[in-house]
Structure 1
Amino acid sequence: MVENVSTRPMGTPGGQPPRELIWWHATWLAVLALGVGVLLFAPILQTTAALAALALGAAPALAGLLLARSRHVAAHSLILFNWGAGGVLAALLTGGIAGPMAVWHLAPLAAAAAMGRIDRLALGTAISLAAICVSLLAGVTLSLPPPPPYDLASGLGAVAIITTAVGLGLALIVLQRRVILDTRRRALMEARLREALGDQPHLLILAQPGGKLVTAWGNAPRGLKGQILAGRHLSQLATPADRPRLEAALREAIVEGRSEVGFAPAGAPTLWHELSLRRVNPQRLTGSIRDAGVQRAREAALDQARIDAETANAGKSRFLANMSHELRTPLNAIMGFSDIMRQSLFGPMPEKYAEYSALIHESGEHLLELINDVLDMSKIEAERFELYREEFDARDAISAVMRLMRGQADRAGVSLRGLMPKEPLEVTADRRAMKQIALNLISNALKFTPKGGTVTVTAHAEGPMLELIVADSGTGISAADLQRLGKPFEQAGGADQRAAGTGLGLSLVRAFAELHGGEMAIESQLGEGTTVTVRLPVMDMAEAEVEPAPHPEETAG
């Protein structure tokens, strides 16, 4: 728990009204009243000037009783000016600087001491000196009243001296008490601050811009015990190999205002510490040194885990690519022989065998498509996939895919519609990648659209962008699945739907789009269908600027 300890001297403006200042004015009035009573009892107090002078000694005290209750510094300054004015006027009424009341010129100094503040004491001294100067100047330039008779002058002088002496004595006692209290308070605060700094988990340092240590607080990390000495250069705390890095960090802190650097301590090269530096002013740098070994080990473990994951992923990609190549060779033979059997090139076969050969060939084509997808993804992940750009009409590539998928749509009972402009969509792109994008999007849409649903394929130009939009009226995709789609081997839908693919379709679409400098976006809600939009910057701008607005037409395939 941290305690709030005020550094403001006791009884200063801004806090509670200073009781000592109030009692000081009350004591002045009491002593003055006692002196006036003695003079009246004598009786020697016979002149109006003498009465007025004594009243001028009481007026600042009465005003001080009221102003001392204020918390404003201006009110306390006014107290001192009142005492200065009262002392000057009382002296001028009783013979000037040589008269019996001249000692009251010290009243501002006494009142300032009672306030217990150095700045007030300086102001009180200045006002007292100014009052003396004013009285001297008035005595030279003005015609002052004559001094009072000897008996009266002696009585007035005694009252003035006693009130001033009592006032100064009490004020010095108050000032000394406050100085002692302030000293104790500061010592307590310094002790608490040193204790707090000493309990820091890190080592706090103060250094010169050149790198020499001035002082340090806190616990030195392992390897630096006994190494933190005033006058030692910061770079000497590190191993010789790391010293240039510390010196560079010092220069950076001076120029940029802050720097951080890690280093191995000279006393324990196997450990690792971190130094943070901040520039306080051109003559001072502050900083902290902490044990960063655990953090460094954690970062090293994370780096190693990342490297291991990347290595494993690369190994997986190589394995899939190699296996795909190995599978494609016998698969081509299987497909070739099954095609020969299907076409009865060596003579007629029983109907059942012909049906089996057709199934073998169809299954082989499906497996070959999967293998090609795996090969494409492995090339993309290895950054070895190359686009073969050429100029062609995007409508032809998309229409060819729709004709290919027409049979699957008819078997599923899904209406496959195409909306494309009458004018050519001349693009410069990879024809095979374009077909693969359309094929994967339409295949996915058909897979998730129930019987009686609709899949609509739209293609049009938007400035330099070709937009290919495939929308279906299928089951839709949940928000959780949307976050995963587009990553390799990630699928949405139920278990039966996920079993119908590899999870590479949309990831290949996204990859092919990004290779062209484009993007893929998916919009979907459960039960409301899905819309996938692919935007590719592949349009021929010379033609795109003059082509008319597209008119939708249905492509029958």
Structure 2
Amino acid sequence: MKGEYGDEDPLRIKKWFKRSYSVLITIVLFFLLFLYPAWIYVIDWFQYIMVNGLSSADFSFIKALSFILVLISANISYMVLSKNVSLSRTIEKQDIELQMNDKKFRKFIDDIPNVAIQGFDIHLIVHYWNSASEKMYGYSKEEAIGQKITDLIVPIDNGKELSEMINSAMTDPKFERFNETTFVTKGKRSIPVLSSYSNVLLPGTQLSIFSMEIDLTERKMMEEELIISKDMAEASNIAISKFLANVSHELRTPLNSIIGFSDLLANGYAGHLDEKQGKYAENISASGKHLLSLINDILDLSKAEVGKMELHCEKVNLRLLLLEITESMNISASRKGITITTMIQPDVGIVEADTGKLKQILYNLVGNAIKFSNENGAITIKSRMDQGSLEIEVEYSGIGIKEEDMDKLFKPFSQINSFSQKQYVGTGLGLSLVKKLVEVHGGKTWVRSEYGKFSIFGFSIPLERIE
């Protein structure tokens, strides 16, 4: 029955009898409260019969007293035995739980895949060998347990290192060690492993050492392949650099001659040409210049790809540079009725930068904007300094770019399918070269566009402002 406040054991009787000393104290209290007065009476009675002798009533009293003492003794014995039995059952239950937990733990570490685990004592005698050890080294549990670890997987060369490790494990209770080493399989094959050692003091036994290993064979093979690939890439870069140096000279020299002589013909320095002949000469010059520009773009892109492009920084007045770009591009923009304006923030001034490459980036972006702008459209060049970086955006109204075509931008020789190939002639190198030139400076590029309306191409380059 529950107590007044819903407590099933308001006097805490059950809790009291669960304590180890409860039986003894209960017996003492029972003796003091009930048996002590009776004991005094018995002593007085013994004194009486010693003087007056026994009567028939005394024999009846002795029988009753004996019966009471037997009952009390039986009750005390029952309480003590019950406590001992309860304690024994608790200990037995805990022992069973410990055994089950031990079995679960052993099964857990035995089933860990690809992690070989061994246990051995200070004399190197193996007492534990999990399934991964069987698979990795080729020895079964029956073959390994009871053998010396040095006779199984540890090479003779590592014996001294293992002895030093055991000495450290015996003196340091928190001993741990990690290292890369080489172990030997049953078939005498050496395998690189990452090993971990720790010491454990098992109950009733001497100090034990547990070793865990992970096979590094695949990782080592990958490392070797990476080294080979790196060497091949470096050799390829050297070959490309030499090839580019030769191609640069072999292609540019005749092209410069073609361009130069065609300009002479077009300007009449080699004699009078009629209108048709003059147009042919101009076409030769224009085609030669286009081809030279393409070759220069390919060479610059290749240099950037192999990391051979160098920066030659100098003081640059960004305001004057942007005005120069605007004026030089206005000629080609005016043919489509396009206006170019600049929005330069007051903090844009003189910086330390590579003038040539900065011009190349801007010429490509503005030229791209002119090519894809609508007739009588507008191009705006915005520039500002932001936390030590130069940010420039080229915004123009035009055909825009579809969302699915965004990934094709900035890739070499990549053109967007939505563009009419006949209307927009190009090689697809301009934006990829811009991206590489910006990356050489340690910067980044971006694009925002809405198809059929506008596009914004921008970049930021970390630059040190001087004035």
TM-score normalised by length of structure 1 = 0.61
Name the structure 2 match of 1:546.
Answer: none
Between 502-511 and 365-374, report the one with greater CA deviation: 502-511
C-alpha distance in 2 between matches for 1:341 and 1:145: 151
C-alpha distance in 2 between matches for 1:161 and 1:254: 52
Question: Can you list the C-alpha shifts for 1:22-67, whole angstroms capped at 9, x where unaligned?
Answer: xxxxxxxxxxxxxxxxxxxxxxxxxxxxxxxxxxxxxxxxx89985
Superposition deviation, residue 170 in structure 1: 5.5
Between 382-391 and 371-380, report the one with greater CA deviation: 382-391
Name the structure 1 match of 2:28.
Answer: 88
Q: Kindly tell me: are residues 77 and 386 of structure 1, through their superposed partners in 2, closer, same or farther at Cα, counting changes over 3 Å?
A: same
Secondary structure of residue in 2 paired with 1:272? strand
Letter in 2 for 1:431: T
The count of corresponding residues between Structure 1 and Structure 2 is: 428
Structure 2 counterparts to residues 307-326 of structure 1, below 5 A = 315=239, 319=243, 322-326=246-250
Superposition deviation, residue 438 in structure 1: 1.2
Q: Kindly tell me: are residues 258 and 167 of structure 1, through their superposed partners in 2, closer, same or farther at Cα, counting changes over 3 Å?
A: same
Question: Can you list the C-alpha shifts for 1:457-491, whole angstroms capped at 9, x where unaligned?
Answer: 23455575544321112333455554564455555
Q: Kindly tell me: are residues 294 and 213 of structure 1, through their superposed partners in 2, closer, same or farther at Cα, counting changes over 3 Å?
A: farther
2:290 is the counterpart of 1:366? yes
C-alpha distance in 1 between matches for 2:447 and 2:175: 46
Runs of 5+ unmatched residues, structure 2: 1-8, 46-60, 202-206
Q: Kindly tell me: are residues 480 and 424 of structure 1, through their superposed partners in 2, closer, same or farther at Cα, counting changes over 3 Å?
A: closer
Name the structure 2 match of 1:476.
Answer: 400
Superposition deviation, residue 359 in structure 1: 0.8
2:332 is the counterpart of 1:408? yes
Question: Can you list the C-alpha shifts for 1:297-327, whole angstroms capped at 9, x where unaligned?
Answer: 4555566556656655665565455434322
Runs of 5+ unmatched residues, structure 1: 1-62, 69-73, 100-143, 544-557
Letter in 1 for 2:154: L
Secondary structure of residue in 1 paired with 2:194? strand
Superposition deviation, residue 361 in structure 1: 0.5
Q: Kindly tell me: are residues 450 and 243 of structure 1, through their superposed partners in 2, closer, same or farther at Cα, counting changes over 3 Å?
A: farther
C-alpha distance in 1 between matches for 2:86 and 2:162: 57
Name the structure 2 match of 1:259.
Answer: 178
C-alpha distance in 1 between matches for 2:379 and 2:247: 35
Q: Kindly tell me: are residues 179 and 465 of structure 1, through their superposed partners in 2, closer, same or farther at Cα, counting changes over 3 Å?
A: closer
Name the structure 1 match of 2:309.
Answer: 385
Name the structure 2 match of 1:522.
Answer: 447
Structure with more strand by fraction: 2
C-alpha distance in 2 between matches for 1:251 and 1:347: 97
Structure 2 counterparts to residues 25-36 of structure 1, below 5 A = none
Superposition deviation, residue 182 in structure 1: 5.7
Between 348-357 and 271-280, report the one with greater CA deviation: 271-280
2:154 is the counterpart of 1:237? yes
C-alpha distance in 2 between matches for 1:167 and 1:245: 58
Name the structure 2 match of 1:203.
Answer: 116
Name the structure 1 match of 2:73.
Answer: 161
Letter in 1 for 2:261: F
Between 255-264 and 403-412, report the one with greater CA deviation: 255-264
Superposition deviation, residue 368 in structure 1: 0.9
Letter in 2 for 1:532: F
CA contact under 8 A between 1:246 and 1:261: conserved in structure 2? no
Identical positions, percent:
27
CA contact under 8 A between 2:383 and 2:391: conserved in structure 1? yes
Secondary structure of residue in 2 paired with 1:329? helix
C-alpha distance in 2 between matches for 1:255 and 1:502: 67
Letter in 2 for 1:472: Y
Letter in 2 for 1:274: V
Q: Kindly tell me: are residues 182 and 398 of structure 1, through their superposed partners in 2, closer, same or farther at Cα, counting changes over 3 Å?
A: closer
Letter in 1 for 2:26: G
Letter in 2 for 1:88: V
Name the structure 2 match of 1:506.
Answer: 431
Name the structure 2 match of 1:451.
Answer: 375
Letter in 2 for 1:504: L
C-alpha distance in 1 between matches for 2:21 and 2:106: 39
Q: Kindly tell me: are residues 87 and 519 of structure 1, through their superposed partners in 2, closer, same or farther at Cα, counting changes over 3 Å?
A: same
Structure 2 counterparts to residues 184-333 of structure 1, below 5 A = 186-187=98-99, 190-191=102-103, 193-201=105-113, 202-206=115-119, 215-219=127-131, 220=133, 221-223=135-137, 225=139, 232=149, 237-238=154-155, 240=157, 259=178, 261=180, 263-265=182-184, 270-277=189-196, 279=198, 286-298=210-222, 300-301=224-225, 304=228, 315=239, 319=243, 322-333=246-257
Secondary structure of residue in 1 paired with 2:309? coil
Question: Can you list the C-alpha shifts for 1:195-253, whole angstroms capped at 9, x where unaligned?
Answer: 55444433223468x996764331224446356766646997258499979989x9999
C-alpha distance in 1 between matches for 2:37 and 2:148: 59
Q: Kindly tell me: are residues 87 and 191 of structure 1, through their superposed partners in 2, closer, same or farther at Cα, counting changes over 3 Å?
A: same
